[in-house]
């Protein structure tokens, strides 16, 4: 991934107006995708009269209008048809790409970032992230000369008026037909983002009393003091309204965090525990649960307590997805709230994950605050070591020996992770164990060793 010019681990992202997050680049990117899809059709010997079909969805950032128009123009110039979805969660675009038999889906979003950032994510016809080979082909086309197909081969554009209803029905269909949230009072924090229309609709139609906050986007307030990265507003609202549960999404709707009736936040590790416990008890848990290098050690111990296994992937939902597929698993996610329920959706989906938790609680007759007590999280200290040569220092004998010593001390009762940033001269030192003072002391010792080794390199 480090050799890519444009694509990162999750699409293309950056500051609006700065290359490549600019209108002229998006025009080229749209044409590049259209050209790659047309070449694929030709290679597969599809009918030449059938143009590639691409869906475009976006969150509520003001720059989304500009990039939507630029991508649309580029795709049409390459001879692709376009269907515009308007503001829609990222997982909704993945679902609709499959259900509408499109060749690709595009999401214009920078997820949990502020409005001055934006980005592009792509989905394949199966509603999954594009393969490395396809991304490489798109990058080559972006740098090629811009060419427009003949006039009689240009694509056409149509807006899908019922996109919200289609996706809402999909979300409800992940539950049994007789499932009901009647009698429950829920607070939904939509982060002034892509879920502001569909999330209240889904939960209300299932019978819940819904109080929505963060549901008045103005193009600039996405993720501003609301949403899964700023749960304080939801915590206050849950307590003020005496709600049974609070649900916070991020700007593009693929992350979710919960708040119990006491106002305590439940993150992705808590959600994985609740779902794994319920699915295991019902005989529905397939394969291991997949977390990341940052999943709390307490989650691993809790899962082992009822016979489940935690596997760890690199940080990033695409890596979680890879590990799930390798091991035929269906449940995985990140502490941040990216939760993958592959028996229900092809990608991380905040609404679907929240519904799965409500289903688990309803079936067991339990409350989130009580269920969470089964997960005893370990104190976790993460220190950032920023210095030239920090990444290279990880391969030094001094750092390896220090890490091995801490691992020996914590064996069976804790964990240590040294992780280099892929974009900065930075190493993240993470230590977990039951004794917080011991954890901090070890983290600081390791950080000092890394810093010293970096200075000597």
Which of 323, 335, 317, 327 minimizes the C-alpha distance to 430?
A: 335
Residues sharing a CB contact under 8 Å with residue 196, sequence separation 6 or more, in sequence order: 60, 87, 190, 212, 214, 215, 216, 217
Pairwise CA distance, residues 314 & 312, whole Å: 7
- Eight-class DSSP state of 153: G
| CB 297, CB 432: distance < 8 Å | yes
Pairwise CA distance, residues 447 & 222, whole Å: 35
How long a stretch of residues is the chain? 457
| CB 382, CB 428: distance < 8 Å | yes
Residues sharing a CB contact under 8 Å with residue 339, sequence separation 6 or more, in sequence order: 256, 268, 271, 272, 275, 332, 333, 348, 349, 350, 353, 356
| CB 35, CB 104: distance < 8 Å | no
Per the residue annotation, which of 22, 63, 109, 111 is the catalytic one?
Answer: 111
Pairwise CA distance, residues 157 & 134, whole Å: 24
Which of 123, 157, 142 minimizes the C-alpha distance to 35?
A: 142
Pairwise CA distance, residues 392 & 111, whole Å: 31
Tokens 């605050």 found at: 369
Do β-strands 117-124 and 12-15 pair in parallel, antiparallel, or remain unpaired?
antiparallel
**How many other C-beta atoms can be found within 10 angstroms of the C-beta atom of residue 282?**
11
| CB 421, CB 293: distance < 8 Å | no
Q: Is 111 one of the catalytic residues?
A: yes
Tokens 């990222």 found at: 90
| CB 189, CB 249: distance < 8 Å | yes
- Sequential DSSP letters for 81-138: EEEEEEE--HHHHHHHHHHTT-SEEEEE--TTS-TTEEEEEEEETTSSBPPHHHHHHH
Pairwise CA distance, residues 226 & 233, whole Å: 6
**How many other C-beta atoms can be found within 10 angstroms of the C-beta atom of residue 388?**
11
Q: Which residues are catalytic?
A: 111
């Amino acid at each position: 991934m480090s050799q890519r010019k444009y694509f990162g681990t999750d699409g293309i992202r950056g500051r609006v107006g700065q290359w490549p997050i600019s209108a002229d680049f998006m025009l080229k990117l749209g044409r590049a995708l259209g050209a790659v899809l047309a070449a694929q059709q030709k290679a597969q010997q599809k009918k030449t009269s059938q143009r590639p079909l691409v869906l475009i969805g976006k969150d509520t950032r003001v720059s989304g209008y500009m990039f939507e128009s630029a991508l649309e123009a580029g795709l049409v110039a390459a001879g692709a048809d376009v269907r515009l979805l308007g503001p829609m969660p990222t997982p909704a675009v993945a679902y609709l790409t499959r259900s509408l038999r499109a060749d690709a889906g595009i999401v214009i979003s920078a997820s949990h970032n502020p409005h001055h950032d934006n980005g592009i994510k792509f989905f394949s016809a199966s509603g999954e992230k594009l393969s490395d080979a396809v991304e490489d082909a798109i990058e080559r086309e972006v740098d090629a000369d811009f060419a427009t197909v003949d006039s009689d081969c240009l694509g056409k554009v149509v807006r899908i008026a019922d996109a919200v209803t289609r996706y809402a029905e999909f979300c409800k269909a992940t539950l049994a037909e007789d499932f009901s949230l009647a009698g429950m009072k829920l607070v939904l924090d939509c982060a002034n983002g892509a879920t502001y229309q569909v999330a209240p609709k889904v939960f209300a139609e299932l019978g819940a009393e819904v109080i929505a906050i963060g549901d008045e986007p103005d193009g600039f307030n996405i993720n501003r003091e609301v949403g899964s990265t700023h749960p304080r507003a939801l915590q206050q609202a849950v307590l003020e309204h005496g709600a049974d549960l609070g649900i916070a999404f991020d700007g593009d709707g693929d992350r979710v965090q919960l708040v119990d009736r006491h106002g305590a936040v439940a993150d992705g590790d808590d959600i994985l525990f609740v779902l794994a416990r319920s699915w295991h008890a019902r005989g529905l848990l397939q394969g291991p649960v997949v977390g990341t290098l940052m999943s709390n050690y307490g989650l691993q111990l809790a899962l082992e307590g009822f016979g489940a296994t935690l596997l760890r992937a690199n940080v990033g939902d695409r890596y979680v997805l890879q590990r799930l597929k390798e091991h035929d698993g269906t449940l995985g996610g990140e502490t941040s709230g990216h939760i993958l329920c592959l028996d229900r959706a092809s990608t991380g989906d905040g609404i679907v994950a929240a519904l799965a938790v409500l289903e688990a609680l309803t079936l067991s007759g339990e409350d989130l605050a009580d269920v969470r007590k089964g997960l005893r999280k370990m104190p976790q200290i993460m220190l950032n070591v920023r210095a030239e040569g920090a990444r290279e220092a990880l391969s030094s004998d001094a750092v390896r020996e220090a890490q091995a010593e801490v691992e020996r001390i914590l064996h069976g009762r804790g964990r240590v992770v040294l992780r280099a940033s892929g974009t900065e001269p930075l190493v993240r030192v993470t230590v977990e164990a039951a004794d917080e003072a011991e954890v901090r002391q070890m983290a600081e010792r390791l950080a000092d060793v890394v810093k010293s080794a970096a200075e000597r390199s």
